[in-house]
Structure 1
């Protein structure tokens, strides 16, 4: 039998760690045993595929620092590893951490590795299980929202950062884990930033714990400033230097159609290789997908097939334009910011087209709304995109070389509402972990607004600590306002309906935006679900019809959604979210009322429950033209065109008073998910917001808003 190709590495590790002292004071041999033919994780003989994949793993840049990394892991609680994508750090380092934990017989816990995208967590778990020669769901597993594939045998688990964060509510010290890997730290998501802050205190209380932070240059400088210059930093060499071609000039606004024209020009050259195009947003990805599908069909067959693929986090997977690809076809991957790591498994790229811009929504606490901004990407992100091609590939940057890009990505914590974050941190204080050392502290104004809003929602007590209501609200993976509405629905006997609304709003939008030529047909289809009381009730209609239709024989849910211009994946997600919310309600032993949708009493109760959480989001049509004045911020906005009350959808006139779910600042300020309310219901419900605090906190804010509402009501009657 041939000698296994792992012998040299195992020998090196034994020499390096055989007599090393682990943090708990016990000297453990970091050896792997004499019989190298047996898998150290399941005790079974290695397959031939394991050795084939091992040969590929050794060609990765990260493998060159394997021994150095393991040495640092033994002697340090925290290690930072910096490198661009396709270095192998996301797949190999978690395996090495699992080997380290195995050397202590997992007495300090298993290994968990976070990702910012669900799809990436699943794909990495599948790949690593293959490389470790074990079964997915056993030794290697994954956990993403609404789906878990793990068992009691799992020693390495991939999960999204928000999943690990919610685990801390029940396990603040994360004692189930001996090694925690935070991947993609340079993306600075809210959940990753909170984990980076909380783990700083956890490391002090758990000296045996190991934390590995995976990032990309130049973000490691920020991490070193946060954790201290003494923390070891391991830098990985760049994988590939692509030929970079910059635009000679032009405006950042002129990038969309030039990018698509460049795709067609590359295709006409007949040079081999797939293309990746980075646009500003998911909406642009979908638009470009439709255009390239049409243009590709018009191309000469001699050029080969052009196959657009939408590849971005909101998609559940790759979505090629056609299911049957011809020989010599070329794929065009359409993506946007925060999706660079999703190209790790794509080895066929020879061209990258980088528009250099991103479209983001930045939250403004003063008006409680998000504003759409278009801005340049970070230099960190631009460098990552240049590393995605094969050797000698080309990266076309549609911006001048002298363009000054910001060094790092802007932390999401500074650009989003921090009300959910503050509610979570208040919950962590209850759990005994009261300090979060943020890399970038939230704006004081945003923090005060978050505390004020939690106060309005009765989530805080007299001392500013989490109230009983606040503790229950934190159990739900929802925005605090929706969590409060869900709790209120228990009092108003409309739980089944409000939990459906919560699930539909938490899932991606179920409405598909069709091509312009089919817009009228789609509007007519959507009108069949329209409820006269508004969009919240329309969502219930859609969900109930979808579930009822599934019970019919020979029913094809995909075909049904296609016929009505609805998104099947979004409705499936809503079903899963609703099931999870119902499980939480049962676990908390909260009353669940019977379904009574359609009755007059039930309609009134749904509005009362929604007002309990969204009483700050009331607007009045000031002149009968659809221009709504919002009471909380004194701004005006139009109803979104896709609403039941949109200009083309509602022929019976617009309601005077409405409750809305979302307000967006854009060229045409708009309010989304709008339902009709009456002044009588509003005045009746508003005082109850304070009453639900059980008299523990002043209700002056609610009284002020109530008086403001009454004032406008009386003005309307004059």
Structure 2
């Protein structure tokens, strides 16, 4: 620890922080910024007037870094040093250094807008440009004016554009701390491989057999690729001739791993044994794995992207940026000179890769973020003009405002409602939060809590919902409930209730090809949501729910009614002359029901007239995933609300140009360039399209 470069700059850091409310610290890889900066401030009295908060974009990083700092300070994790992530809080009244995800800090600011318990707020890994970190930077800019005398804000990163952030915070000072890196030799492929998984496999085995000791870190795109490569590596290593090379252990590393699996990655390997770690981009900067000498860079990352004009998500494998490529290479030079094998040619790095990653705020649905900003209830906030480091498109913000209006989080004047304030208190996406509130009204909250918890699991939970599942599973298919024909939300409820009847048996989970860790996570999330909702609920909420198994069909109907309200912006109408549905409202899109859905057709093979869906995804076709049937009488109020949409008013502003409202799908550039003379023509064309659509439905 004593050799970490940041410690040599301790006096300069303290002097700069003392004199300025905001400081940008560019700490290169290996500088020790994530673990040491909080300890420097602790040693110098900054916890005398409050807690030091250190945000991380990733839960795994918040947990692992806090554990490391607790070890260095020789204190028990959860006492002087702790962490808080969604659905887990390991802090106490004694906590002086608190690592937390950026989303948790945002949620804390709802109950304490000035974040008075903190004397220092460090936004770490800001170069990742997570959605929540970008929102926090805008809020810190406001907060520092209110608490200039007793709050310090530090923005830290390995590769951040410091000048841009400095300009954003009124030209605050920038400190550059060099890293502790050994030389890294960069080796490029002669050509782009057809399969980065196969190419990574060959390269890893070649290194293992022919290169000196040292761990290998392989960057893959996601959990499926990691599991596939880990399995192939283990097979190859076992087939190597005994004594031809040292032993090797293959370890996965991704955000969905349970804590005990994550810890294995940070433990030193057995003697004369090489670790081969297969990781997502979580290992670029958020986590440091000591002992890595060889890096294999596939050149790709899996990125979730949202199209506000269609309301559709896509999970795409895309090329990394040059900043990411350099971060990956730096992982090889932490303990001694290393090598980075890039599985792509030099020309691809120079000509194809973007300079930096597109900020998450410019490729995400902003409904949750806009709800948060509205819930601050600050009269001078105009959502379309909020001060972002890199502003999202006007179209994305309009999309979020429309979604919130349709689910009653804001009224037609753009003011947050009591329902919206309650939604903001729940650690759920807006559609699920709204469903819980409506379910309380219809006396089916226990059932809605189960569905919300089941939909909060990251990754695959049910059998048959992964493209690799059928190949991996040899056992016969399980006899899971079918949702009684109503759809996937009801099936999720039925599955959990069956598990409940077995006293939460893990054997039952395994026998039905479900994910054990995922189901245990659901149980924990449901319990916590139950505790949160207790203050809003009518009567007592029993987690076990045995006394409620009275009229299931009525429960299912009330749950579907609640889902219709919660998912009002995710409504679809069956197209009679098309093989699919048209999404209703401001995002008209032709889509199909996902093949994994249990939604039942009638005797003639026809789907229900109206459904709501959890999300739209773009794969081989535009699909609705997690679909539930709803009834026309529940849909009518939604259609009436669509007629009242006016984004200019919803935003909270008064100077925006007039918006085209209902069923409008106008890209941002069209709004800017459209001349007043064209408005009548546009309206006529829109009316003609609506007429033709109605005619086609007859």
TM-score, normalised with respect to structure 1 = 0.81
In the aligned structure 2, how far is the partner of 1:348 from the partner of 1:275?
A: 9
The equivalent position to 1:250 in structure 2, one of 179, 183, 192, is 192
- Secondary structure at the aligned position of 1:137 is classed as coil
How many residues align? The count is 640
The answer to whether the 8 Å contact 2:121/2:153 transfers is yes
Deviation at 1:566, TM superposition (A): 1.5
Deviation at 1:463, TM superposition (A): 3.0
In the aligned structure 2, how far is the partner of 1:550 from the partner of 1:168?
A: 38
Deviation track 1:621-656 (CA, whole Å, cap 9, x = no partner) reads 546996344334443333333322599xx9995633
Deviation track 1:443-474 (CA, whole Å, cap 9, x = no partner) reads 11111121122121222234322122211221
> Where does residue 281 of structure 2 map in the other structure?
337
- Secondary structure at the aligned position of 1:619 is classed as strand
Higher relative contact order (CA 8 A, sep 6+): 2
Deviation track 1:169-228 (CA, whole Å, cap 9, x = no partner) reads 011111111111111000001111111111111111112211111112253233223224
The equivalent position to 1:66 in structure 2, one of 5, 10, 21, is 10
The equivalent position to 1:437 in structure 2, one of 387, 391, 406, is 387
Is residue 2:367 matched to residue 1:419? Answer: yes
In the aligned structure 1, how far is the partner of 2:339 from the partner of 2:117?
A: 45
In the aligned structure 1, how far is the partner of 2:561 from the partner of 2:114?
A: 39
Task: Write the mapping of 1:303-382 to structure 2, written as runs, cut at 5 A.
Answer: 303-317=245-259, 318=261, 328-344=272-288, 346-382=289-325
Deviation track 1:375-431 (CA, whole Å, cap 9, x = no partner) reads 321222222211212322110011222323322221101100111111100111359
> Where does residue 181 of structure 1 map in the other structure?
122
> Where does residue 570 of structure 1 map in the other structure?
518
The answer to whether the 8 Å contact 2:4/2:31 transfers is yes
In the aligned structure 1, how far is the partner of 2:454 from the partner of 2:170?
A: 44
> Where does residue 401 of structure 2 map in the other structure?
451
1:362–1:646 Cα change, 3 Å: farther
The answer to whether the 8 Å contact 1:612/1:686 transfers is no
1:341–1:376 Cα change, 3 Å: same
> Where does residue 395 of structure 1 map in the other structure?
340
Deviation at 1:602, TM superposition (A): 1.6
In the aligned structure 2, how far is the partner of 1:189 from the partner of 1:201?
A: 19
Deviation track 1:643-673 (CA, whole Å, cap 9, x = no partner) reads 22599xx999563333221111222322211
The answer to whether the 8 Å contact 1:494/1:595 transfers is no
The equivalent position to 1:282 in structure 2, one of 223, 236, 253, is 223
Is residue 2:161 matched to residue 1:161? Answer: no
> Where does residue 484 of structure 1 map in the other structure?
434
The answer to whether the 8 Å contact 2:431/2:566 transfers is yes
In the aligned structure 2, how far is the partner of 1:296 from the partner of 1:590?
A: 59
Q: Which stretch of the first structure deviates more once superposed, 414-423 or 66-75?
A: 66-75
Deviation at 1:531, TM superposition (A): 4.0
1:381–1:717 Cα change, 3 Å: closer
In the aligned structure 2, how far is the partner of 1:450 from the partner of 1:684?
A: 19
The answer to whether the 8 Å contact 2:4/2:180 transfers is no
In the aligned structure 2, how far is the partner of 1:609 from the partner of 1:394?
A: 56
- Secondary structure at the aligned position of 2:230 is classed as helix
1:702–1:572 Cα change, 3 Å: farther
The answer to whether the 8 Å contact 1:365/1:449 transfers is yes
> Where does residue 25 of structure 2 map in the other structure?
81
Q: Which stretch of the first structure deviates more once superposed, 616-625 or 278-287?
A: 616-625
Task: Write the mapping of 1:532-543 to structure 2, written as runs, cut at 5 A.
Answer: 532-543=485-496
Is residue 2:181 matched to residue 1:239? Answer: yes
> Where does residue 451 of structure 2 map in the other structure?
501
1:701–1:377 Cα change, 3 Å: closer
TM-score, normalised with respect to structure 2 = 0.83
Deviation at 1:703, TM superposition (A): 12
In the aligned structure 2, how far is the partner of 1:287 from the partner of 1:605?
A: 42
Q: Which stretch of the first structure deviates more once superposed, 394-403 or 605-614?
A: 394-403
Deviation track 1:303-360 (CA, whole Å, cap 9, x = no partner) reads 3444322101222343679x9987633322111224323541x222121001122221
Deviation at 1:86, TM superposition (A): 2.6
> Where does residue 198 of structure 1 map in the other structure?
139
- Secondary structure at the aligned position of 1:341 is classed as coil
Q: Which stretch of the first structure deviates more once superposed, 291-300 or 117-126?
A: 291-300
The answer to whether the 8 Å contact 1:414/1:443 transfers is yes
- Secondary structure at the aligned position of 1:85 is classed as coil
- Secondary structure at the aligned position of 1:437 is classed as coil
> Where does residue 656 of structure 2 map in the other structure?
none
> Where does residue 657 of structure 2 map in the other structure?
none
1:447–1:701 Cα change, 3 Å: closer
- Secondary structure at the aligned position of 2:434 is classed as helix
The answer to whether the 8 Å contact 1:624/1:654 transfers is no
> Where does residue 47 of structure 1 map in the other structure?
none
> Where does residue 640 of structure 1 map in the other structure?
594
> Where does residue 151 of structure 2 map in the other structure?
209
In the aligned structure 2, how far is the partner of 1:449 from the partner of 1:306?
A: 50
> Where does residue 468 of structure 1 map in the other structure?
418
Which structure 1 residue ranges, 5 or more long, are not aligned?
Answer: 1-56
In the aligned structure 1, how far is the partner of 2:617 from the partner of 2:145?
A: 42
- Secondary structure at the aligned position of 1:271 is classed as coil
> Where does residue 269 of structure 1 map in the other structure?
210
1:262–1:493 Cα change, 3 Å: same
The equivalent position to 1:511 in structure 2, one of 452, 462, 470, is 462
The equivalent position to 2:554 in structure 1, one of 584, 590, 601, is 601
Deviation at 1:505, TM superposition (A): 0.7
Is residue 2:100 matched to residue 1:100? Answer: no
1:684–1:412 Cα change, 3 Å: closer
- Secondary structure at the aligned position of 1:74 is classed as helix
> Where does residue 17 of structure 1 map in the other structure?
none
> Where does residue 26 of structure 1 map in the other structure?
none
The answer to whether the 8 Å contact 1:619/1:631 transfers is yes
The answer to whether the 8 Å contact 1:259/1:277 transfers is yes
In the aligned structure 1, how far is the partner of 2:359 from the partner of 2:453?
A: 28
The answer to whether the 8 Å contact 1:313/1:339 transfers is no
The equivalent position to 2:536 in structure 1, one of 563, 581, 588, is 588
